[in-house]
Structure 1
Amino acid sequence: MRRLLLALLFAVLVVAGGPVPQAGAHPMSTSAVLLDLRDDRVEGEVQLPVDRLAVAVHRDLTRDSVLGTDRTFLRRYTARHIGAVGKDERSWQVTLGTGTVRTIDGTAHLVYPLTMRPPDGNVTDFVLRYDVIVEELLTHKVIATVRYDFDRGILRTDDAETLGVFDFSAKSLEVPAGEGSWLRGFATTAGLGVGHVGEGADHLLFLLMLLIPAPLVAVGGRWRAAPSARRSVVRVVHVVTAFAAGHSLTLALAAAGVINLPTRPVETLIALSIAVSAVHAIRPLVARGEVLIAAGFGLVHGLAFASLIGELGLDRGALVSTLLGFNLGIELTQLLVVALMMPSLVALARTAVYPAFRIGVALVGLVFSVSWMLERATLTSLDPFEGIQIWLVGHPLLVAATVAALAVVAHRVTPLTPQAERTAGDRVQGTGGPPGAGAGQGVA
């Protein structure tokens, strides 16, 4: 009886056209249509699983034949089954590029670049008609996805939006290309800038190394307390402005294709910039060196920022808006870091604790930067401090609160005497006698 039931089950599956269950079997492969919405055209690609395509066209296809003997036939077949119609009921021009074979989810796919152009050159809402493979295979599915649309804030793979699924019963989908606005895309790119800096331990550490000596002034090759809080604020403004000018210049040049450097050397130079700024925080390399370091190495950081812009596949229409938005996000993040850290650093600089704090933090930054340099130069296989760095970046408010609490305690326990502060101010203004006078007072 049991064998009879199993036989009947097997017969039902065969008659219904269903697959026989197998241990560890994978789901049937699907097709995909990926769309990039531009101002004047829609680009993207069509991904066709070769095994399903072979069934649909009734041919024995292989990875070699789809690019060889069957190449012309398959391209014409695919083009016949893709169409686009605008709101005005006029058909768009559909063009397929040269096909390639790519392994996707373990299955060989024939991939065609896709371009669709409206008659008036203005992309708005349209209906995409598609029945490649599904016109023959009832069970086949085609997933349609928008992976880029600036006006709706879809810029990266993580933002991709699934439009729907084509199958035997649904062979058209409406694509909302007229929704969204320039402001939404601009806000999204600004958010990318905020996230890129906010999640980048190296960029944040570089900025912190530049801020540590900002409340101080270099006198006789040593750090001394600045004559006033106003002087400290001015120095911070100079540092932030210099860094912004440096990274903005190379960001624009790299995004426009004028500069193109490999990622690894750029990332290694960023680690070097942190090392240099950390050494400068311990002992001034040159007067106003943090401004020079911010401007010079800001050029390098701009190249790193541009790598993300390059991944977005922007066209000229969105390039300027993206650069402005991305830069705005970077600057907002920098200002937030300054607002969180600078009041505490200025207060700490007026205490006897600051020399130890400054040198300790700078040494940590130096160790991190050297570790990054070794890893990025492929001299080591991993960064042993990665866990600590991730934790610190993930808890910025806790870090800022800890420094603020230290500033409050230090200001009450070990403040600099008024005479020490006046001595430091006199030295900066050149009225405090020879450089060696009053050694040990006002040292920060």
Structure 2
Amino acid sequence: MTKATYRLLPALLLAAFFLTGLLASPAGAHPVSTSAVLLDIGEDRGDGEVQLPLDRLSIAVGRDLTGARVLGADRAFMKSYTAQHISAVGKDGEPWTVSLGTGTVRSVDSTPHLVYPLEIRPPDGEVTAFDLRYDVIVEELLTHKVIVTVRYDFDRGILKTDDAETLGIFDHAAKTLTVPADEGSWLRGFATTAGLGIEHIGEGADHLLFLLMLLIPAPLVATGGSWRAAASRRRAIMRVVHVVSAFAVGHSLTLALAATGVIDLPARPVETLIALSIAVSAIHAIRPLVAHGEVVIATGFGLIHGLAFASLITDLGLDRGSLLTTLLGFNLGIELTQLLVVALLMPSLLVLARTRFYPALRITVAVVGLLFSSSWMLERAALTSIDPFEGVQAWLVGHPLWVAVTVAGLAAAAHGSTTRTPRTAPER
């Protein structure tokens, strides 16, 4: 070779290296298939599932496996093989019963997996910490990984997908993992469910709007088909207490009945009725439908809102733990959020209700509530596919303090620039 060639050799090697990397990148971009063990910790047993990628499973058992084969000709073999490589032992050394349900084939991360429901039962019926032993596939495939995740554990506050906790990884070197099922307490689970109640109401534009529509006329009294300022602040406050209490009684009753399975209604009609409840309460805020109507509306439609709360408990799987503790915690979160809304808004509304500006404010807010609820009704009844006010609703729900400060500012301005409305003067 010439000296020029030697000088070019490093550059040629570097170019070849990058070219090889580029050509190989499409294959390397796909992650190696992994297995998963998903656990749900209950009071008397552990449930969950095992997810086994068919491509890795084929190598481990030395068979050309397809979805049809693992559910057909190789069905019994695959279940027996998997069961032989999973066991559980309590901290006292006693073996626990491990059983697999009927296998299915499901796509996980775009890769077909053989999925088995998993059940782990302690001999004394009380779940405590235990050692999970697992070497499906990893006994033969040195590079294979198995991710172990706890999806649900009430006492540790793991109640939904966002809370899921990765316990560790099984591989060829680590085939035993301790599951800390005796950590935490009912108090931690109670606090977590209360937090979910707060989160649900805090993010639920429809529930918040219904409460607001009830609160707007609460400082007033209905006389002769129109609204008038209450005779005293004390009377106005008592009406607010009655409205909030009526709503709490209504939704608490159906929340308990629906969560325990006594009543069960489809979600779509329930959500549509919730939108209707907002429309009715908005109309009542504009012109009273009946004396003390907001209390009647709060109680009656509160029953419907309770069904929606119960549906959320079922959707999140919160009924897998202590149902009584879940109901109490979730309901406490709802009530705390409602009381916070009342505390933020009612002082301002009580001041505004005794000014000449309140009729205009009350009617404006009620009309906005009527527009929002009508849009929700159409969408939830599948008559329209979009909600044109969704962006505004999301902003309002996401900025509750701005709303409260704005109302407080209006109250301060109105109180400082006008005399109190005479008690005998009707609101238009």
What is the aligned partner in structure 2 of residue 185 from structure 1?
Answer: 189
Structure 2, gaps ≥5 residues long: 1-8
Instruction: Tell me the percent identity.
Output: 75
| Partner-residue secondary structure (3-state), 1:244 | helix
Listed one character per residue, the Cα deviations across residues 36-70 of structure 1 (whole Å, up to 9, x for unaligned) are 00111111000111111111111111111111111
Q: Which residue of 2 aligns with 1:427?
A: none
Map 1:88-167 → 2, pairs under 5 A? 88-167=92-171
1:227 to 228, 231, 239: 231
1:49 and 2:53 correspond: yes
Give the aligned residue type for 1:242: A
Aligned pair 1:68/2:72, yes or no?
yes
Aligned counterpart, 1:368: 372
Indicate the residue corresponding to 2:6 in structure 1: none
Q: 1:196 aligns with which of 181, 200, 206?
A: 200
Deviation by residue 1:196-215 (Cα, 9 ceiling, x = unmatched): 00000000000000000000
Counterpart CA distance in 2 for 1:240 and 1:224 is 20
* Preserved CA contact (<8 Å) 2:227 2:426: no
Code of the aligned partner of 1:443: E
How far off is 1:147 after superposition? 0.5
Q: Read off the aligned partner of 1:276 and give its amino acid letter.
A: V
In structure 1, runs of 5+ residues without a counterpart are: 14-18, 424-440
Matches within 5 A, 1:379-398: 379-398=383-402
- 2:253–2:306: 8 Å Cα contact kept in structure 1? yes
Match of 1:243 in 2: 247
Counterpart among 43, 54, 58 of residue 39 in structure 1: 43
Q: CA separation of 1:57/1:23 partners in 2, compared to 1, >3 Å: closer, same or farther?
A: closer
Asked if 1:294 corresponds to 2:272, the answer is: no
SS in 1 for 2:113: strand
Aligned residues: 416
What SS does the aligned partner of 2:47 have?
Answer: strand
TM-score normalised over the length of structure 1: 0.90
Q: Is the 8 A contact 1:270 1:301 kept in 2?
A: yes
**1:416–1:442 CA contact under 8 A, matched in 2:** no
Matches within 5 A, 1:322-337: 322-337=326-341
Counterpart code for 2:138: V
SS at match of 2:255: helix
Q: 1:24 Cα deviation (Å)?
A: 7.0
Q: CA deviation at 1:283?
A: 0.3
Alignment of 1:217 onto 2:217: no
How far apart are 1:442 and its partner, in Å?
4.5
Give the 3 Å change call, closer, same or farther, for CA 249–362 of structure 1 in structure 2: same
Q: Provide the C-alpha distance between the structure 2 equivalents of 1:342 and 1:415, rounded to a whole number of angstroms.
A: 20
1:243-282 equivalence runs, <5 A: 243-282=247-286
**Contact 2:160/2:317 (CA < 8 Å) preserved in 1?**
no
CA apart distance, 1:314? 4.2
Change (3 A) 1:112 1:214: same
CA contact (8 A) 2:259 2:319 kept: no
Conserved? CA contact 1:352–1:416, under 8 Å: yes
Taking the aligned partners of 2:240 and 2:233, their CA distance within structure 1 comes to 11
Specify which of 347, 353, 360 is matched with residue 349 of structure 1: 353
Letter in 2 for 1:309: I
Q: Which amino acid aligns with 2:278?
A: I
Instruction: Give me the whole-angstrom Cα distance separating, in 1, the residues matched to 2:204 and 2:349.
Output: 22
Amino acid at match of 2:393: Q
Q: Distance in 1 between matches of 2:335 and 2:56?
A: 50
Q: CA deviation at 1:179?
A: 0.5
For residues 172 and 341 of structure 2, the distance between their equivalents in structure 1, rounded to whole angstroms, comes to 55
Give the secondary-structure state (helix, strand or coil) at the position aligned to 1:154.
coil
1:400 and 2:404 are equivalent in the alignment: yes
Q: Distance in 2 between matches of 1:273 and 1:415?
A: 35
1:224 partner amino acid: R
Matched residue, 1:413: 417
Letter in 1 for 2:419: P
What SS class does the counterpart of residue 297 from structure 2 fall into? helix
Aligned partner of 1:345: which letter? L
SS at structure 1 position matched to 2:26: coil
- Please give the alpha-carbon distance, in whole angstroms, between the structure 1 residues aligned to 2:143 and 2:264: 46
Q: Distance in 2 between matches of 1:57 and 1:20?
A: 28
Secondary structure, aligned partner of 2:322:
helix
Matched, 1:339 2:343: yes
